[in-house]
Amino acid sequence: MADLQAIADALIKGDRNTVVELTQKAIDEGVGPADILEKGLIGGMNVIGARFKNNEVYVPEVLIAARAMHGGMDILEPHLKAGGIEPIGVVVIGTVKGDLHDIGKNLVGMMLQGGGLEVIDAGTDVGPDKFIEAVKNSNARVIAMSALLTTTMPQMPEIIKAVKEAGLDVMTMVGGAPVTQSYADEIGADGYAPDAASAVDKALELVKT
Ligand code: B1M
């Protein structure tokens, strides 16, 4: 019987091999990838986040936990992306300039692919120029911006402004732990989603706009 708490515990310890092994075991036993993600990987990362905030762990431990999380996500990726249908539209996704957090952005990207969208990953630390270039190269309909730091959120209105000035016919959506619907409204983003699953609904709505 798959033990999702054991996945969370291994992630908290930064034990990548055990996270990979137990994630694969859970998949083999037929546990849904969304459950493994929520109760195992994200559950463990939330504990690390709380400890980080309380200065009980520091950047090196968080990096090791993030590496373990990526190991588990690599196993889940094909299951989250499953579909193989013709893409409904193109989305350019990136973590905004000054921000290196990529776990949430990667997760949203995988789920968007699972929802039938083509995803161009612009990476982390992405400023207006790189977003604009990626849209021009891909004919994307949506720009999806992620920010995990209150200090990098102000990049979002800068990117929206630059996109408008460049005259691109593209919708913008924002997300990430400190971002809210009211912030999205304030900066004139076309959409906001609090998590990866609702990001799919929002992106699908925007590509059809
Ligand atoms: Co950072 N970090 N970190 N960190 N880190 C946070 C974000 C923090 C909240 C920790 C804390 O104090 N409790 C805090 C931010 C405080 C603030 O500004 N409010 C913080 C800080 C301060 C920092 C540094 C400044 C620390 C330092 O150096 N002193 C530094 C900044 C570096 C930089 O970016 N320039 C830093 C560094 C790091 C690491 C490199 C060590 C590592 C990142 C590794 C990596 O990503 N490859 C790291 C990590 C791992 C975290 C925590 C612990 C976990 C983040 C995470 O991956 N969560 C985080 C604390 C926390 O969140 N509990 C923290 C799991 C992920 C699945 O969730 O990314 O929220 P999340 O994504 C969710 C939703 O937000 C949403 O969907 C996802 C799935 O549901 N979502 C979207 C995300 N993007 C979306 C886009 C959308 C829609 C939804 O549409 C476009």
What pLDDT, in 10s, does the model give residues 56-106? Answer: 999 899 889 989 999 999 999 888 876 555 678 999 999 999 999 999 999
Choosing from 46, 92, 148 the residue with most ligand 1 atoms within 8 A of its CB, the one to mutate for a pocket test is 148
pTM of this prediction?
A: 0.89
Q: Whose CA is nearest to atom 32 of ligand 1?
A: 100
What pLDDT, in 10s, does the model give residues 4-54? Answer: 999 999 999 999 999 999 999 999 999 999 899 889 998 998 899 899 889
Candidates 148, 143, 147, 179; CA nearest to 163 is 143
- The overall average pLDDT reported for the chain is 93
Give CA torsion, residues 31, 33, 37, 38, to 10 deg. Answer: -70
Query: How far away, in angstroms, is 82 Cα from ligand 1 center?
Result: 26
Q: Which domains does the chain have, with CATH numbers?
A: 4-82 (1.10.1240.10), 90-207 (3.40.50.280)
What pLDDT, in 10s, does the model give residues 115-127? Answer: 788 899 999 999 9
Burial class (CB in 10 A: 0-12, 13-18, 19+), 17: exposed
> Please, are residues 80 and 42 in contact by the beta-carbon 8 Å criterion?
no
Query: How far away, in angstroms, is 148 Cα from ligand 1 center?
Result: 5
Ligand 1 atom at minimum distance from 99 CA: 34
Query: How far away, in angstroms, is 183 Cα from ligand 1 center?
Result: 18
At residue 189, the pLDDT reads: 98
